[in-house]
Amino acid sequence: TRSTRPQRLLKVVQKHATRGDPQSVISAIDHFCRRSEWAMNIGDEKGSILDSVVSELNPEKVLELGTYCGYSTVRIARLLPPGARLITLEFNADYAAIARQVIAWVGLEDKVQLVESASEDWIPRMTEHFGIETFDFVFLDHWKDRYLPDTKLMEGCGLLRKGTVLLADNVICPGVPDYLEYVRNSLSYKSCYFKSHLEYSKAEDGLEKKSVFLG
Ligand SMILES: O=C(NC/C=C/[C@H]1O[C@@H](n2cnc3c(NCCO)ncnc32)[C@H](O)[C@@H]1O)c1cc(-c2ccc(F)cc2)cc(O)c1O
Ligand SMILES: [Mg+2]
């Protein structure tokens, strides 16, 4: 049977990227998605904004919702200081298998823990299973109708502290209207919008960065 797009993306990484070199993996995936097959990675333009938010924050404990093929996982993990940890949740077994191989290719397994599970099942287990009380940085890039319920779940589980930064992809395209309305009107967040473009496209898209300042 025909291979899947994530399988073809992994082949491109294994053929064109250098083991242990995150930048070469990022470049190989971006080239493939721009020139051969579009895929829903954050991409290079929004990815640079993600890089600057992570670099400025220097987080120790990071949560990513929606791994897909691991492109943003690699972008984030490559910037983390020694001892920092990134937990990424992916409930599709096929995508998780691809992402594990991409993460292994760049040699970032010691910083990244991929949990093959739905976010709503694992957010409540972060403390007892990983000993994580609160996260410093959360990247949301999973189903768009799950950003708001999962944010409320993280609040309810006490995983967000004063200063925790949440960064959400696709706030314009495909869009996350309920999430935007909530975080822009809620008194416990201040937020800013980074205007950009949909990955590998000229369509408008953007990232919304929120920092929790009232615990
Ligand atoms: O739909 C988009 N992303 C979804 C990502 C889903 C990934 O995350 C995984 N996932 C989903 N929910 C959960 C979950 N928990 C929730 C469910 O229990 N727990 C764990 N993992 C979860 C999926 O298995 C996938 O791996 C998107 C679309 C466009 C787009 C724009 C324009 C177009 F024309 C077309 C497409 C651009 C983008 O950047 C996009 O991110
Ligand atoms: Mg996205």
Q: What is the ipTM of this complex?
A: 0.99
Ligand 1 pocket residue status of 126, Cβ below 6 Å: no
Provide the whole-model pTM: 0.98
Q: Which of 29, 142, 154, 167 to mutate to test the pocket of ligand 1 (most atoms within 8 A of CB)?
A: 142
Is residue 110 annotated as a catalytic residue, yes or no?
Answer: no
Instruction: Give the number of other Cβ atoms within 10 Å of residue 124's Cβ.
Output: 14
Q: Could you give the strand order of the β-sheet that contains 189-197, starting from the edge strand earlier in sequence? A: 112-115, 85-89, 61-65, 135-140, 160-168, 204-212, 189-197
Is residue 144 annotated as a catalytic residue, yes or no?
Answer: yes
Q: What is the pLDDT of residue 68?
A: 98
Dihedral over Cα of 71, 75, 76, 81: its sign: positive
Q: What is the pLDDT of residue 188?
A: 75
DSSP string over 99-140: HHHHHHHHT-TTTEEEE-S-HHHHGGGHHHHH--S-EEEEEE
**φ and ψ at 21, to 5 degrees?**
-120, 90
Q: Whose CA is nearest to atom 1 of ligand 1?
A: 143
Is residue 15 annotated as a catalytic residue, yes or no?
Answer: no
Bond prior to 6 in cis (omega within 30° of 0)? no
Are the beta carbons of 75 and 47 closer than 8 angstroms? Answer: yes
Query: What's the token pair of residue 10?
Result: 């992994």
Q: What is the pLDDT of residue 213?
A: 73
Q: What is the pLDDT of residue 186?
A: 84
Is residue 145 annotated as a catalytic residue, yes or no?
Answer: no
Q: What is the pLDDT of residue 214?
A: 64
Q: How far is the CA of 166 from the centre of ligand 1 (A)?
A: 17
Over the chain (215 residues), the average pLDDT of each successive run of 10 is 96 98 98 98 98 98 98 98 97 98 97 98 97 98 98 96 96 98 85 96 97 73
Q: Which of 44, 143, 198 to mutate to test the pocket of ligand 1 (most atoms within 8 A of CB)?
A: 143
